[in-house]
Every structure is written in structure tokens, then in C-alpha cells.
A and B are shown apart, each in its own frame.
Chain A
Amino acid sequence: MRKYLLMTMSFSLFMGCSLIEEVKPWEKETLAKPTMQFAGLHPEVNKFESHIYYSKEASKGGSGVAGGGCGCN
């Protein structure tokens, strides 16, 4: 599974880093779409997901510094 994870990560990084272009403000229409936000299309749903993973798994973090604790873990 780790091998698969590393391969997928490397592929994604290759796609992203192969060419960085200067993008002017008026060329950012696509980047402004809701589906292009790091927080996802529905940040409220992401919050639910994060809370469930936090309560069922032993690792946490990486999704921002905001957020409180929970007695579920």
C-alpha cells in the first residue's frame, strides 16, 4: 500500500511541478471556481469528515491550525 501511495504522490507532484507559469490576475477565472478551492466544495462536510477521522484514527493534523479538541479520542 505504501508503494502505491508513494507512486501516486510522485505522479501528482510531477504533474504539478513540471512547469510553473506566470498567471496574470485576469487569467484566474478557472482557479476561482468553487471546485478549485483547497477547502473543497463544502468545507462544512470536510469538518464532519475530519472529526470522524480524528475520533477513529491515531493521527491528526495537517488541515490548518484552527479547531478545538474533542473527548472522542
Chain B
Amino acid sequence: MQLKNFNSISKITAIAIVASNALYAENYVAVEFLQYDENNNRVSVSAPSLSASYDIGTDYTIKADFVHDAVSGATPSWQPDSSSGASSRDNSGDYIYEKQTFDEARNAGSIMLTTRFENRDELYTGIDYSRESDFDSKAVSAEYMHYTDKSHNQSINFGVSYGMNEILSYDYDTGSGASQKETSTSINIQAGISQIINNHSLLKVEGFTILDDGYLTNPHANIVRDYGTATQNLITENRPDKRTAYGVNLKYISMFGDNLSFKTNYRFYTDDWDVTSHTLDNDIYYSLNKKITLGAGFRIYTQSEANFYNKKKDFFTDEKFASSDERLSQFDALTYKASIDFKQNDSISYNLGGEFYSQSTGLDATMFTAGMKYRF
């Protein structure tokens, strides 16, 4: 009888930690490797990552992660067409929308501290850092989660982050190639409510706004101006220096029987560049036994084009804002996902995953992940 009570109390303690939207508390070290490859020899990314989480008593958890991205390949943009005799960005020849090659490496890391108060409310504070040869980003964030009832079935959360970016732009337009440091900031505010529906399903609704300010142009993307005239030339795109976005995120998870769980996530996004998007992301997990869990999922995405986007060579004349970056175009995208998780014992587990991503722009990509987690 005493043993039974002890087990129940342990179970309650463990469950209380993960109830509602609280983090799944455990000490671990995890390594994960990503290989991402696009079709037509476009971008390839190899990214090993390391993450660790450690509980300090029952009131604090510290989590840190680090990732190194090695990116290589090519991305399409307007360039001088060498077959027409053009060798520069002026009006000496024609232009072509084709891949321009690049190599880049990125190192990024983050540290997050979770603080739990007497009423088990939680405060998450974090710092993020990311560095590339031509881009630096630093961000600080804080989020508070408050339980609104005694049983911890409902919670509300409010979070805010502030990011500062430094971008190195190059003066390709005059041909000098001189570099100049540009800056931008990003404020992300998010508030939501989590509700346990019953003993096998959860719902979370969040609203968010993102305020970007500063240099938001892609310094490597080009547009053609005044095509077909004596003054035609190739210049760096120019995006507005402010962007305000709003969105709503709905998440729902339910367990069917003892082994099958279903997770769905819908996001609505809109901004003042006229980009509006809908994202529906679904995952199912099926536990074959205590050691093996299979996962499958699909994601549907659709977005409208930015009001300053056009891919045509003969479109832009004197517009203040102009971009031919396909990522700002109207397109749909589908992702198919599959994964397998193998739990060797209570301490060690392995995971393998594969995804296929396809955009209506013609971009296809595969993503493979492999990882190992050690719990202690």
C-alpha cells in the first residue's frame, strides 16, 4: 500500500512538471545532425548541433544549445548574362535569372533559464546569438507562464524578445564593392492561453506581433531597372525599412487509445508588406512498443506575394521598393515527414527522420536528421 502511494506521488510530481504547456523537465545531452539538400544543385546545409538541459533543484532548469551550419550552393537572382557579352551590372548586355554561388558558415547558440515560483508559475529568460561572415544577431527574451487554476489545467503566457542584427552590405551598384555595416532590430511579442481539454487532449491559442525595423533588404539579391532603355542596369533590391506582422497560432494535441497521438498546428500570418500566409502542420506518433515510436506528418503552406515583388526583367522603373526574390512571391508548399525513435533504455534514445519539401516555385528539398539523446 505504501509502495503504491509512493508510486502515485512520484507520478503526480512528474506529471505536474509537464502539465499544461510547461517544459518536459529532464536532464539530458543531445546531439543532432541535419543534412538539407535542394534540387538542381542549389543550397546544401550540413548542421551538427549539441544541446543540454539540467535541473538545478526543483525551481530552476538551464538549457543551452549550439549549432554550426555549413551552407554551400547557389541561389537564383538576376545577374549579367555572359552569353550576351555582359560582364558588369550596367547596360553593356543582357541579364539572366540564374543561380549565384556562395559558401557560408553560421554558428549559433542560445541559453535559456527556467525559473519556477512557489505557485509553480514559470519564467523563461534567454539569450540567443548567431554569427555569419556578413550577419550578426543577438537577442534577449523573457516569457512568463501563469496557471489560472488550482489543478493547473489552464495557463496564460506572455512573452517578448528584442533582437539586434548587424548586416554587412556591399556596394555592388557602383562597382566599388565597398562594405558597409547596416543594422536592424526585431521585437517579437506573444501572448496565449493553454487549456487541458480532458485527460488526453490539450489546446493552445496564441497571438503574436513582430516589429522589424532597419535594413531588411537582402544585400545579395538583385533587380533589373529600366530594362530596354539606355539607362537599364542591375542593382541591389530595396525593401521597406519597417515591417509589422500579426498572427495567430492554434495548437491541438490528442491521444487516441494508448499508442497513437495526433498533433495539429494552424498559423495565420499577415504583414504590411501584403504577405499573408496560412500554415497547417500535422503530426502523428504511433508507439509500436515501449522502445519504438513511429512518426509521420504533413505540412501545407500558402502565402501571397509582397506588394513590391516582381520577377520580370522589364517591370521595375522608378519604384522606391523593389525585389525579385522568389521567397516574396505567391506560392504554395507541401512537406511530407517520417521519423522513427528508438529507446535503447531509460537513458539512451536515438532518432532518425526524413522530410521532403516542395514549393510551387519549383524548389524541392530533402531533409534528413539523425540524433541521440542521453538522459540522466
Contacts and interface: CB of A to CB of B under 8 A. Distances in A.
A9 B34 CA distance: 31
Q: How large is the interface on B (under 10, 10 to 19, 20 to 34, 35 or more residues)?
A: 35 or more
A61 B261 CA distance: 25
Interface majority SS on B: helix, strand, loop or mixed? strand
B200 to A, nearest CB: 5
Contacts of A24: 151
Interface string B261-287: 101101101010101011110010101
A68 to B, nearest CB: 4
A57 B247 contact: no
B47 A48 contact: yes
Nearest to B30: A44
Contacts of A45: 32, 339, 351, 353, 369, 371
Interface stretch (B19-27, B91-99, B172-180, B222-230): B19-27
Interface in B98-135: 104, 106, 108, 110, 112, 124, 126, 128-130, 132, 134-135
Interface in B51-72: 51, 65, 67, 71
Nearest to A4: B300
B189 A65 contact: yes
Interface string A35-73: 111111110110111001100111111111111111111
Contacts of B255: 30, 33, 35-36
Interface in B340-376: 341, 351, 353, 355, 357, 359, 363, 365, 367, 369, 371
Interface string A1-33: 110110011001101110111111111111111
B256 to A, nearest CB: 10
B102 to A, nearest CB: 11
A25 B12 contact: yes
B76 interface: no
Contact of B203 (A17, A21, A35, A49): A17
A12 B203 CA distance: 10
Contacts of B285: 35, 41
A39 B1 CA distance: 36
Contacts of B351: 41-42, 45
B306 interface: yes
Contact of A9 (B110, B124, B130, B280): B280
A62 B278 CA distance: 12
B303 A59 contact: yes
Nearest to B9: A26
A57 B283 contact: no
Contacts of B156: none
Contacts of A65: 141-143, 159-161, 188-190
Contacts of B104: 71
A66 B110 contact: yes
B208 A62 contact: yes
B275 A58 contact: yes
Contact of B283 (A40, A56, A63): A40
Contacts of B280: 5, 8-9
Find the residue from B141, B186, B201 having the highest chain A CB count within 10 A: B201
B81 interface: no
A66 B152 contact: no
Among all A-B residue pairs, the 8 with the closest Cβ atoms: A71-B135, A68-B128, A69-B137, A62-B249, A65-B159, A65-B161, A59-B269, A59-B277
26 contacts: A1-B300, A1-B302, A13-B250, A15-B201, A28-B19, A30-B200, A37-B18, A38-B204, A39-B23, A41-B285, A41-B341, A44-B30, A45-B353, A45-B369, A47-B49, A48-B369, A56-B357, A56-B359, A57-B327, A58-B328, A62-B208, A67-B128, A68-B130, A69-B186, A70-B108, A73-B218
Given A48-B32, A59-B269, A64-B143, 7 more contacts: A28-B19, A35-B287, A36-B202, A38-B21, A47-B49, A59-B275, A71-B135
